[in-house]
Structure formats: C-alpha cells, structure tokens
Structure 1
Amino acid sequence: MRQKAQPLTFVLVHGSWADAGFWDGVAAELRKQGHTVYAPEYPGHGADYKNTTATHAMMSKAVADYIQNHDLRDVVLVGHSFGGSVVQKAAEYVPDRLKRIVFIDGFVVKDGNSLADELPPQTAAFFGELAKQSGNGTVMLPFPFFRDAFLNLAPLDVAQKIYAGVKPEPGGPFTEKLDLKKFYALQTPKSYVYLYQDNVLPQGENYSWHPHMSSRLGQFRLIVGDADHMTYFKTEPKKIAELLYMAGRD
C-alpha cells in the first residue's frame, strides 16, 4: 500500500467447508500492516467439526460472544460466503461494538429466508440430496464440484491440497429461516467485496453475489477484486488483505 495504513481491528468469519485457519495467510498480511486481527471459530467447525447438529443460531451467537468476551470495539466484522449470514445475525447482538460490516462474496440473506432459499434451485436440491446421502445430515461436496465452483483459478495440485483439508458441513443451518429484521434496521456502515471470478453463484441478477446480494445492504461501499471464491485466500493472501483494508478503512 502506498500510504500508511489506518490501524483497524478485524474479526474475520469463515464460511462453509472451512475453519478459522482459512484466514491464516490473510490475517498475517493484515497484521504486517499494523492491524489487529481475530478469526473466531464457531460450532460445527474446526476442532468441533463432529458436532453435526450445530445450528445457525449457535454459530452466530458464538461469534457475538467472542467479540464481547474479548471486549473488542470499533470492529470491522468480515463475513466470507456462508459467514456473511453468520455476520448478519452476530451484528444484531453487538451493534455498538462494530465500526463496519464487510461481506466478501458473502451471503446477505433476505429477512425470513434460509441459505437454501438464496441458492439456485438445482444447487439447493443438490445440497439437500448430499445431506440425505450422508446419513447424518452433513453436506460434503464432491471434488469436481468444489474444484470448478470454489477453486476455479487454482492449479490442480493446489485445489487437491485445499480439498484434502475440507470437512463435511452441518446441513441444518442451510435450511434454517433467519429473522433479520434487526440487521436490516442497523445503521452500521457496510461494504461489499466482490470477487469477479467467483463461480459459486451464477453471474448476473437472480442469485449473484453482486449486485443481487450486495444491493440488499442499502448504501454500501463496493470493492472489487480479481479472484475466485477460495484460491487467493490461500495463494495470494496479500491481495485479499488489501481488498479488506479498502473495504474497512474510513
């Protein structure tokens, strides 16, 4: 960055088929710039991945509790992918502790909807079938889907390495209807980081990250970057860190 960074406090919330370690490279780059960075884990992920009945409510409350327990203030709260919906609910608990809410190709769920409602019907049906087949309600994406949708910019060996660390995702939170009236009443500033080679949701109007999801935020700051859904978080973390800084700064 050409000028000295304004020091910020980031709380980074990961998405599905990931854990807090997803942020390691990005967090390291942000810390090099003088920022304070936290990456909380939430139920059903990380060491708790065998907790297949973790609910969306448990996940969002865990993030809010983390912010309160660490007495964090002026937080730039970042949600990636499914983490966008977690951030929406967590923000309702701790609005006075937030400086800005940032979505990086994150779900901005419509009040009363579930995550499944925000997916193209064929994708929602695919996830539902995977949950049935698993025997315990979890969803594990097959490699060909994961590689083409989440890691489309990655060389094959990098995609295979990332996929090797993926754990099944609790399926319940995908179908939980979310009451988001408090979120949509928040006056907290918001930003949307759109990664324009992201292939998880179809490009265009009906289900896209931007402008479909982002436009629900009302007034928001838009930052765009050349990345897919997951690859550059691992291989080009400095680029992702720079996008998050632009999204979070004054």
Structure 2
Amino acid sequence: MKKTVSKMLLSAFAFSTFSLFASCSNNDENSSLKPQTYVLVHGAWQAPYVWNEVKTELIKSGNQVIVVGLPGHGADKTPPQNLSIDAYRDKVIDAISKVQGKVILVGHSMGGIVVTAVVESIPSKISKLVYIGAFLPKSGQSIGELAMTDAGSLLGPSLIESADHLTLDVNAKDLTNLFIPDGDTSAKQKVIDNYRSEPAIPFSNKVILTQNFGSVDKVYIKTLQDKVISPKLQDQMIASAEIKTVFPVNTSHSPFLSQPKTVSDLLIKIGK
C-alpha cells in the first residue's frame, strides 16, 4: 500500500512539474511575440476605411493599432487651401504622442512622404518605418516632382485639376482600374463610395531629410501590379533610400483592400 501511495505521489509530482514546465515554455514563447503599436497612414483619394480589415487582423494578434485620418480626407472638412504635408505630418505626430514607447509607422502612396516627414521630426518614437506602394522622395523633392519621373504610371492622364488648382480628381471611369483592379466587387465599391477630391497643395510640398531619417530602420512592401506608382519607380526609390528589406506582393496599388491578410501577416512579421 505504501509503495502504491508513493508511486501515486511521484506520478502526481512528475505531472505537475511537466505542466509547470510546459506553462513556462508557452509563456516564454508568447513573450517573444511582443505586442506592437502600429500607426497606419492612408494615401491620396483614400481615407481610414482602407485599413479596417488589416486593423482587425493586427488586433487579433494582440497588437495596438492607430489609424490616422489625414486632414481633408474621409469625414474631415478642412479646406484644401489650408492643407500641406506639414499639416498631415502634425496630425500623425499628435497621434503618436499619445503612445508610450515606440511605434511601427506605416504609410501608403502619398502617405509615404507624410511618414517620411514624421520620422524626420520624431525619429526616437519610430522603431520601424514601413512603406506600402508609397512615394519616398529624396531630400528636397516633392511628390509631384517624383511622380513626373514615373513613365510607367497610368495615373497622370486620368487626373482632373479643379479651376482654382486646389484639388485633383481621378476620372471616375478609371478609378477602380487604377487603384484596385484585383479587388472583389465589395472592395471596389468601397473605393467608389468613399471617394473624395484630393487636396493639391501637398503634392508640391518638399521634405528635407537629415540623419534623423537615416537613423530609422525601413521596410518597403512593393506592389508588383501597381498602375499608380510603377514597380520601376518603386525600385528606384528603394535603391535611393538604401532600403535593404523589401517584401514584394503580387497586388495592385491597394493591397490592404484586395489582400488584407497578406498585408497584416507581413506587418506582423515585420514587427517581430
């Protein structure tokens, strides 16, 4: 009887020790996946809605997400004559200032120059800078100047400038073909339903870069089927900025709408 009790106690001790070890191992594994705070910045002719599905996936993985709505986009009614890259930059900086610690800053398309300006201003708050099919001008260069070099872009012929030169429109018949030809019907309809004229002044604003910009780790997600910012121009910008980490995705200009899981998985991978 004593031997039986001893064996039972020994087995119980072994089981509890194994369980404790397994629990510690799982905790160690989970602790290595440190939650990140992602700050997502949309591009031109778009608004915060484009990040909805990506945001959901990032939060499911335990991360914090801040989606910044740029002034003059979405529901914001700031007059176009009052807008600039500096105004966009300051809106993003204000959002980041409410976060303890560093963030992963993500910019798409026109948002690329915005996040570049943000990093130049507050490099110590940014752990990684991620461009998704985004403009990345050289120091002293505007988006407009950079776009003029993009012979592979199909956007130019579709642009319609307002009489007061304060806004730019995309010809309605070209909108989804340019921005999301690979999206399903629902995704394309979102782009149509949320469309607004784009403030023009920020396209002529320049950003000056220093060692602040150079001090932050950068990643580029290259959109291989992009008709707005051609893959060739993306390659040139990547090379000019000496970005070493590049993830190609076989999508159009709006991968967060056509392949949101691909984008969220990449952002999680970048955050590890």
Bucket of the pairwise TM-score, normalised by the shorter protein = 0.7 to 0.9
TM-superposed CA distance for 1:47, in Å, is 2.2
8 Å CA contact 2:46, 2:191 repeated in 1: no
For residues 111-157 of structure 1, give each alpha carbon's deviation from its aligned partner in whole angstroms, at most 9, with x where no partner exists: 11110111136778657x72244x46111111233222211212456
Equivalent-residue separation in structure 2 for 1:154 and 1:126 (angstroms): 22
Secondary structure at the counterpart of residue 65 of structure 1: helix
Secondary structure at the counterpart of residue 170 of structure 2: coil
Counterpart for residue 144 of structure 2: 116
TM-superposed CA distance for 1:50, in Å, is 4.8
Aligned-residue sequence identity (percent) comes to 27
Structure 2's unaligned 5+ residue stretches are: 1-28
8 Å CA contact 2:182, 2:258 repeated in 1: no
1:47 equivalenced with 2:59 (yes/no): no
Secondary structure at the counterpart of residue 130 of structure 2: strand
Counterpart for residue 181 of structure 2: 152
8 Å CA contact 1:14, 1:80 repeated in 2: yes
Structure 1's unaligned 5+ residue stretches are: none
Q: How does 1:94-243 map to 2 (within 5 A)?
A: 94-120=122-148, 126=157, 130-133=160-163, 135=164, 137-155=166-184, 158-184=187-213, 186-204=214-232, 208-209=233-234, 211-230=235-254, 232-243=255-266
Q: Which of the two has higher C-alpha Rg?
A: 2
Larger CA deviation: 105-114 vs 175-184: 175-184
The alignment of Structure 1 onto Structure 2 pairs a total of residues equal to 238
- Selected match of 2:57 from 29, 35, 56: 29
Equivalent-residue separation in structure 2 for 1:12 and 1:157 (angstroms): 22
Equivalent-residue separation in structure 2 for 1:235 and 1:32 (angstroms): 19
8 Å CA contact 1:152, 1:199 repeated in 2: no
8 Å CA contact 2:168, 2:198 repeated in 1: yes
Equivalent-residue separation in structure 2 for 1:119 and 1:228 (angstroms): 17
Counterpart for residue 118 of structure 2: 90
When residues 136 and 153 of structure 1 are mapped into structure 2, their CA distance, relative to the original with a 3 A threshold, is: same
8 Å CA contact 1:85, 1:108 repeated in 2: yes
Equivalent-residue separation in structure 2 for 1:65 and 1:160 (angstroms): 31
For residues 7-53 of structure 1, give each alpha carbon's deviation from its aligned partner in whole angstroms, at most 9, with x where no partner exists: 21111111111112221110001111111111122211122245212
Equivalent-residue separation in structure 2 for 1:161 and 1:11 (angstroms): 22
Counterpart for residue 248 of structure 1: 271
Question: TM-score w.r.t. structure 1 length?
Answer: 0.85
Question: TM-score w.r.t. structure 2 length?
Answer: 0.79
Q: CA RMSD in A?
A: 2.3
For residues 41-73 of structure 1, give each alpha carbon's deviation from its aligned partner in whole angstroms, at most 9, with x where no partner exists: 2211122245212111111111112211x1342
8 Å CA contact 2:229, 2:253 repeated in 1: no
